[in-house]
Amino acid sequence: MDIADLLSADRVLLDVDVSCSKQAFRVVADVAAATVGLDKRAVMDALQERERLGTTGVGDGISIPHARFEGLGKACGFFVRLRSSIDMDALDNKSVDLMFVLLAPQDANADHLKALSRIARVMRSPDNQRVLRQNGDKNVILAVLTSEDT
């Protein structure tokens, strides 16, 4: 599964001003409701529940929250760059300022795991991180995130 299949410019959110993961998830839930028709409350609850199971903060200021939904036709992603970093109990104890939220159909087992792996690989690149943190053009961000798609 290519990141280009998951993400579009309207789901690239830059300089989001929040102070905690709950607020960040609320922003994503609002956009998910508007762009893919998911219930806001269901998105928030699922992301918070996943975070309670264990951190999605993978290190280097990056978090990859994810959840599955019954009735979702295909996986979708949301890139979120936070104005200020937030604590998400990341594996390296660093605050998070870059998030890629993945919402997947309930039965998307292998595709879900492949997508998570690809997202992590792209976001862990120091060169990509530099652009993701500094560039203000959603289309440039989208190009960086989809640069390794085949």
pLDDT along the chain (150 residues), means of 10: 91 97 97 94 96 94 95 94 96 96 90 88 95 96 85
- Name all domains of the chain by residue range, CATH numbers in brackets: 3-145 (3.40.930.10)
Q: Which two tokens stand for residue 144?
A: 């960086």
6/73 Cα distance (integer angstroms): 12
Evaluate whether 105 touches 72 at the Cβ level (below 8 Å): yes
What's the confidence (pLDDT) of residue 71? 84
What's the confidence (pLDDT) of residue 88? 95
What's the confidence (pLDDT) of residue 147? 87
Angle separating helix axes 109-124 and 126-134, nearest 10 degrees: 80
Evaluate whether 119 touches 58 at the Cβ level (below 8 Å): no
Catalytic residue among 66, 81, 112, 118: 66
What's the confidence (pLDDT) of residue 21? 96
Active site residue 66: yes
What's the confidence (pLDDT) of residue 109? 79
What's the confidence (pLDDT) of residue 149? 67
